[in-house]
Amino acid sequence: MGKVRLNNIRLYAYHGCLEEEAKIGSDYRVDMVVEADLSASAHSDSLADTVDYVHLTKIIKEEMAERSKLLEHVAERINQRIFDELPAVNETTVSVSKLNPPLNADCKAVTIELTKNR
């Protein structure tokens, strides 16, 4: 088994329960770890034998562009698409962070993390 990690993908999106969040949007960060058998690609040096991080990034960007009220909903959609499109993946962990959330407090980020197993 091996892991592919994507760290600190920065995006602008329109998630949240408040109407202002749908209009104004906010900065988000997505981190991801996928677990898969990477032994074939370690020997073949072939992109066809591995989990392509470009494909993972495409899924993240597309799902983050679709508005949700809850970050959990976005993370679940990302996890499910990975399983639907990348059969080599056995486990996913997606963290979605809303940077500078609209709280009445000094808070750098709010993060949810969801793990899904095949």
Q: Please give the pLDDT value at position 93.
A: 98
Q: Could you tell me the CATH number of the domain that includes residue 106? A: 3.30.1130.10
Number of domains in the chain: 1
Domain span at residue 6 reads 2-117
Is 116 known to be catalytic?
Answer: no
Asked if the model's pLDDT at residue 19 lies above 90, the reply is no
Q: Please give the pLDDT value at position 22.
A: 87
Q: Please give the pLDDT value at position 21.
A: 85
CB 96 within 8 A of CB 61: no
Residue pLDDT, tens place only, 78-89 = 999 999 999 999
- Give the other-Cβ count within 10 Å of 32's Cβ: 23
Least confident span in 20-24, 45-49, 94-98: 20-24
Asked if the model's pLDDT at residue 58 lies above 90, the reply is yes
From the list 23, 98, 108, 116, the catalytic residue is 98
Distance CA 78, CA 92 (A): 9
Question: Which residues make Cβ contacts (< 8 Å) with residue 4, sequence separation at least 6?
Answer: 33, 34, 36, 38, 50, 51, 53, 56
